[in-house]
Structures are given as structure tokens and as C-alpha cells.
Amino acid sequence: MVTINCLRGVPKITYTSTPKITISKPVVSLFSKRASPLVAIVAAASFSSMSYDTELAAAKKAASLAARLCQKVQKALLQSDVQSKSDKSPVTVADYGSQALVSFVLERELPSESFSLVAEEDSGDLRKESGQETLQRITKLVNDTIANDGSFSVPTLTAADVLGAIDCGKSDGGSHGRHWVLDPIDGTKGFVRGDQYAIALALLDEGKVVLGVLACPNLPLASIGGDSRHSSDDEVGCLFFAKVGAGTYMQSLDGSSPIKVHVSTTENPEEASFFESFEAAHSSHDLSSSIANKLGVKAPPVRIDSQAKYGALSRGDGAIYLRFPHKGYREKIWDHAAGCIVVTEAGGVATDAAGNPLDFSKGRYLDLDTGIIVTNQKLMPSLLKAVRESLDEATSSL
């Protein structure tokens, strides 16, 4: 049996191999020219032979447009644009606007697809009385970005449309069917500081990441290896994209020709610089320093926010990414799905601290042992050994 969950008041189509078709809602959507049941059946029949080209093109367009919205907001960020979520983490008008835009673009560009989106933000706070001013600002940002792009002929979106688009991201994901996975701004703390952030979008098919796009508006096109400071003359704005079995490419966000990228091939830890979170609250800097020492890494850590770390690693700026959240933190799939395929298609390996591959099929959270480590194939065995020793030492000193 195949179930296609269409959100936003569009049809929920369920059919079995008989095929028996049930349409549980009327075909009504502001945005979409929705699939007929027949189209849905044809799509399901060719499921296994998909090349994901259309999906990748849609994902690149969605992430690039969202990046434009974010760039505009970051340039003139107001204190009132930044709110605090119930877990005390920050969220801005750009996080919400980016999520609404990506949801909107995917549905417009892939009208015959089922549409399931697992995304970070939800509209709860925007539906409250206190959220109305923020909602108006987000609605204007989304409409302005669509109008400036000029490629969609849609009526102006209402605040309710924007709320609906944001709430499309409530899917639970899982190991069956297709699910888009979105972090509308990864590295919100970096975004608010004026530093690195990324729009991270991936597609899961039967629990596996099959494509990923990372828009990194502040990442220099030139290498940042070994030095996170860069001159203000550096051209910034990178778009990384990867498709399963097809490698990883990078182009400028302005639309230059893509170039194929590859992770560092160094086998020598002394030459290998490593990335970690800028925020010590997100990853233990002490633990990564101990691991780097054991491995013989000489260079100081390169600390930057967001999945820009995966992008930079995929083009060989550094050779290692270490992430060790403090006890009790659960990693979410949108913080790693796009970055993971970008780095693995570029020849890298991403695992948990025990060397297990990252499993994106378990729902909104990653179920993993302790931390996330990323490097090239050659360095992974010695990195795993250093990780094990450092973790043992940390445990025995408690």
C-alpha cells in the first residue's frame, strides 16, 4: 500500500495495489495544480527509477530564494525580529519566512509529488495575539521575495497562507515514502550575530537521504581552511548540492557554473584542521580538543556556526568535523541530513561516535551514540580510536 499525504487542505490519497483510491479531502490548494489520482499512480510506478533531477532543481530554487530573504533580514536585523522559543533558543522572522518560502516553492515546483515536510519551525507563537505583528512582517517578507523573483504568478499570500505553509513542516518523517527535511536557518545564533548560517534542505526516500542542498550566504567562495577569519573583500555566498551517486557540487549563490568538490584526501592528522561549533553550548570544545591532541592535529579548531561546516569540509577546507553535544541533547534530522549527503557524496564519511552511520529513518530525531564525527575514509579509523580513548578518559574522570 502506498499512502500519499498531501498537506494544506489538498487531497490525502490512499491506494493499494488493487488499486483502490480514496480521496479524503477536496482538491483545493491556493498554491498547487495538484496531482490527479492517475498521476499519483504513475508517479508511484516509476518510484524506484527516479533520478531526482526535478527534485534537485526545485530544492536549489527553494533554498536560493530563502537565502535571499535571509540575506535581506540579516542586513537590517531588528531586535524585535528575534524571539525566544519555549526551549529558550532564538528564532527570527527570517527562520519563519524561509520555512514558508521553501514550503511554497517545493509545492509549486513539484505539483505532481506527494508533499511531506519535516521542518524545524511551527506557527504556534505566530498564532498568538502577541505574534500578530511578527506574522505581518513575515508575510510581507515572503511576498516581497516572491515578487522580486518574478517567476511565480500567484496572488499575494495572506497571513493565513503563510501560517499554513509553515505548518506543512509538521510531518514526522520515517522510513517509508518521501519526506523533505528542512532547517530554514541552521545556525540562528550565528545569523543573529552576523556570522555563518545555512538553509539546509534534503530529501529522504525510504529513510535514506537522496539529495541535499546547503545555501550558505556568508561562506566565502574561497577556502576558509585553517582560518575562520576572512577579509571583507572575499566573495561570499555558496550553494552546495548533492544527489545520491552523483557527487557534490558547489556554485555561487549568484548562479555561477557548478564545480565538483571533494573532501580533503590527507592521511596525515598533522595537516588536518578541524571544524566545530562556534557555540560551546552546542558541542564540547574540551572533548574535541582532547580528540585532536590524541590524533596529532596541530592547527587550532575552526569554529563556525551551522551546516556551513559540512559544506566547507566537502570542498576540503578542513579534514575533520567534531560535534559532541552536552548530555541529554537529542540531535534533529534537519541539523544534519543535507550536510551529511553533501559531505558523503564528496567522498567523506559521517558517523556517530561509535562509528555507526547516521540513520535518518527514525523520525524527527537522530538516534545515535554520543556525538557526530565527519572526516575522509583514510582518517576515519584513527579518528574513531582517538574518540573512543577521549570518551573513556572523560567517563573515568567523572
Ligand X SMILES: Nc1ncnc2c1ncn2[C@@H]1O[C@H](COP(=O)(O)O)[C@@H](OP(=O)(O)O)[C@H]1O
Site string for ligand X, 116-135 (x = CB under 6 A): ----x---------------
Neighbours of 147 (CB within 10 A): 11
Residue 276 touches which of ligand X, Mg ion, none (Cβ within 5-8 Å per kind): none
Q: Is 53 designated active site?
A: no
Q: Is 95 designated active site?
A: yes
Q: Which of 305, 317, 345, 352 binds ligand X (CB under 6 A)?
A: 305
139, 145, 188, 351: the catalytic one is 188
Query: Segment 184-243, which members bind Mg ion (CB under 5 A)?
Result: 185-186, 188
Q: Please tell me the number of Cα atoms within 13 Å of 329 on its side-chain side.
A: 16
Residue 8 or 282 having the CB closest to ligand X: 282
Query: Segment 248-287, which members bind ligand X (CB under 6 A)?
Result: 277, 279, 281-282
Residue 107 or 186 having the CB closest to ligand X: 186
Please give the Cα distance from 322 to 350 (Å, whole number): 10
Residue 264 touches which of Mg ion, ligand X, none (Cβ within 5-8 Å per kind): none
Q: Which of 306, 314, 375, 390 binds ligand X (CB under 6 A)?
A: 306
Residue 5 or 370 having the CB closest to ligand X: 370
Q: Checking DSSP bridges between strand 248-252 and strand 236-243, what pairing results, if any?
A: antiparallel
Q: Does 335 contact ligand X by CB under 6 A?
A: yes
Cell of residue 134, nine digits:
511578527
Query: Segment 88-107, which members bind ligand X (CB under 6 A)?
Result: 89
- Tell me the closest approach of the beta carbon of residue 39 to ligand X, in angstroms: 34
Taking alpha carbons only, the member of 56, 2, 314, 17 closest to residue 210 is 56
CB 107 within 8 A of CB 63: no
Residue 113 or 120 having the CB closest to ligand X: 120
Interface region with ligand X, contact rule CB under 6 A, candidates 64-72, 239-247, 327-335, 377-385:
327-335
Please give the Cα distance from 195 to 187 (Å, whole number): 9
CB closest to ligand X, residue no: 277
Q: Which of 187, 237, 348, 371 binds ligand X (CB under 6 A)?
A: 187
Q: Does 113 contact ligand X by CB under 6 A?
A: no
Q: Which of 131, 220, 325, 355 binds ligand X (CB under 6 A)?
A: 325
Active-site positions read 95, 188
Question: Which spans of this chain sit near Mg ion (rule: CB under 5 A)?
Answer: 89, 120, 183, 185-186, 188, 335
Question: Which spans of this chain sit near ligand X (rule: CB under 6 A)?
Answer: 89, 120, 183, 185-188, 190, 277, 279, 281-282, 305-306, 325-326, 329, 332, 335
